[in-house]
Chain A
Amino acid sequence: MEDQKPQEQAPFGQQPFGQTPFGNQGPAPKNWLVESILVTLFCCLPFGIAGIVNAANVNSKYAMGDYAGAQAASQAAGKWTKIGFFIGIGVYVLYILFFVVLGFGGAMMSNYR
């Protein structure tokens, strides 16, 4: 899951002064884009959107040669995606517990919405 690294990515635009094209650039940091999309689609809460915005930051900063900025954005993207994921799981578990407490029989009978 955590080893999403493109083999090579040409930096777009001009390199800043004092940086060689192959100097301090590692592979692009994980941008959490797929995970954010999954959170947006399946976890209801719009935390995935914050993940997508940070994924955009990762890609554009890496393309500009700002490797530290890309790494910071990558961490922010991961944070928001995980918050969305765990809140989604939490809501799910609470909901199931709620029904276990109320009694499963009644839950099966009534209609959704």
Chain B
Amino acid sequence: MKLTYILGIIIGLALVIIYYKFNPEMYNFFPECPFHKYLHLDCPGCGSQRAIHALLHLDIKKAAGYNLLLVLSLPLLITQLAFKIYSFSTKKKLVMRFWYNPNTPKVIFAIVMIFWIARNLPYTPFNYLAA
């Protein structure tokens, strides 16, 4: 179990360095999303590699232009990470009750589907959401 954490941290750090140094828009050794490649439509995760590159350079506005959903979910994900680190370091089980509310997954599902459809519409207010 401890080895998994150490390996995870090493791989995570390597990915952070790669995504900081190389802009996915300039180099094509970053994999393109198969959904986008074959259907020429954006999925909810499209643009997240470029968004990560922008975020690592602290350019939140640019990151939001690539994938708004990723940027909006960051506060939640960071809170979850903080809970994880706290419960790992104090050996106390502390869980966000938010994730176990019966309405949370439904709302998240609705947001993801609306985002997915909206970012593929070719009209003016929506095409800013495209990757």
Residues in chain A within 8 A of chain B (CB atoms)? 3-7, 9, 12, 28, 31, 33-34, 37-38, 40-46, 48-49, 52-53, 55-56, 58-60, 62-63, 91-92, 95-96, 99, 104, 107-108, 110-113
Contact = CB atoms under 8 A, between A and B. Distances in A.
A108 B29 contact: yes
A34 B29 CA distance: 28
Which secondary structure dominates chain A's binding surface? helix
A12 B102 CA distance: 10
A22 B115 CA distance: 40
A96 B30 CA distance: 8
19 contacts: A4-B95, A4-B99, A6-B95, A6-B97, A6-B100, A31-B105, A38-B77, A41-B44, A44-B43, A52-B105, A52-B108, A53-B105, A56-B106, A91-B31, A108-B27, A111-B26, A111-B28, A112-B26, A113-B25
Contacts, number: 111
B95 A41 contact: no
B35 interface: yes
Nearest to B50: A112
Contacts of B70: 41
Nearest to A77: B105
A110 B69 CA distance: 29
A40 B45 contact: yes
Nearest to A91: B31
Contacts of A4: 95, 99
A49 B35 CA distance: 14
Contacts of A33: 99, 104-105, 108
B28 A40 contact: no
B92 to A, nearest CB: 10
A102 to B, nearest CB: 10
B34 interface: yes
Interface in B35-85: 35-36, 43-46, 48, 67, 69-70, 73, 77, 80
A113 B97 CA distance: 42
B33 interface: yes
B114 to A, nearest CB: 12
